[in-house]
Homo-oligomer: A and B are copies of this chain.
Amino acid sequence: MDNIRLINIKEAILSENQDLANEIRERLARGKVYMLNVMSSPGSGKTSVIVETIRRLKGAHRIAVIEADIESLVDAEKIAREGVAAVQLHTDGACHLDAPMVQAALETLDLRDLDLIFLENIGNLVCPAEFDTGATRKAMILSVPEGDDKVLKYPLMFSVCDVLIVNKTDYLELTDFDMKTLKERVARLNPAMKIFELSCKTGLGVKEWCDWLESDMKKI
């Protein structure tokens, strides 16, 4: 296999993607729209966290969700039930969102009508970390049943994100997940990372997370 050729193409794609991502981010900033790229493993609760956040913030902010999925409509239907705009992006097998896909989705939305856009990425802790989508901030969700060692195993994702939401904390007492160990591991890799502990089932921590998000929205 001609690895050098492959690497060059990958670099070219990433560089072209980065240019477009920067353009998207500037356009959003000019329009005072905050876009959050939400990443996690499959089943960590991206849609649930987004739904809980929408319920708390939709009175005060105009919200839309861009849903990436390889081929289903499952999540977009859940979001649409919350009464906010949902755009479904089918990646047709692709394992991550990139800036061109996000730009295509943004063209279907009128940014003048929006304050906040959630970008729900494909469930994958590897590939989405490599692609800037133009989002204002990057958040990742780690659910307690996945274990506290994921920082060691998927370090790029933990390095590139601004915020970590530890979800499904209602499972804490059933597992050997150690929150202190997790926080130490995160601090070594990405000391600036904000950490929120959440349970979408019990509602614990949802307010703290939403308060931070609202305060961060004011910074753009």
| Interface flag for A138 (CB, 8 Å) | no
Inside 8 A of A149's CB, which chain B residues have their CB? Answer: 72, 74
| Interface flag for A21 (CB, 8 Å) | no
| Interface flag for A114 (CB, 8 Å) | no
Inside 8 A of A150's CB, which chain B residues have their CB? Answer: 42-43
The complex is assembled from copies of this chain, and their number is 2
Residues 60-101 of A contacting B (Cβ, < 8 Å): 69-72, 74, 93, 95, 100
Residue-by-residue, is A149-187 near B (CB-CB < 8 Å gives 1, otherwise 0)?
A: 110111110000000000010110010000000000000
A95, B146: Cα distance in complex, Å? 18
Residue-by-residue, is A186-219 near B (CB-CB < 8 Å gives 1, otherwise 0)?
A: 0000000000000000000000000000000000
Question: Which residue of the partner chain, among B1, B123, B124, B145, contacts A168 with CB atoms under 8 Å?
Answer: B145
A89, B177: Cα distance in complex, Å? 26
Interface residues on A, range: 35 or more
Min distance, Cβ A32 to any Cβ of chain B, angstroms? 30
Inside 8 A of A122's CB, which chain B residues have their CB? Answer: 126
| Interface flag for A29 (CB, 8 Å) | no
A34, B145: Cα distance in complex, Å? 30
| Interface flag for A6 (CB, 8 Å) | yes
| Interface flag for A125 (CB, 8 Å) | yes
A122, B157: Cα distance in complex, Å? 14
Say whether A42 contacts B154, CB under 8 Å.
yes
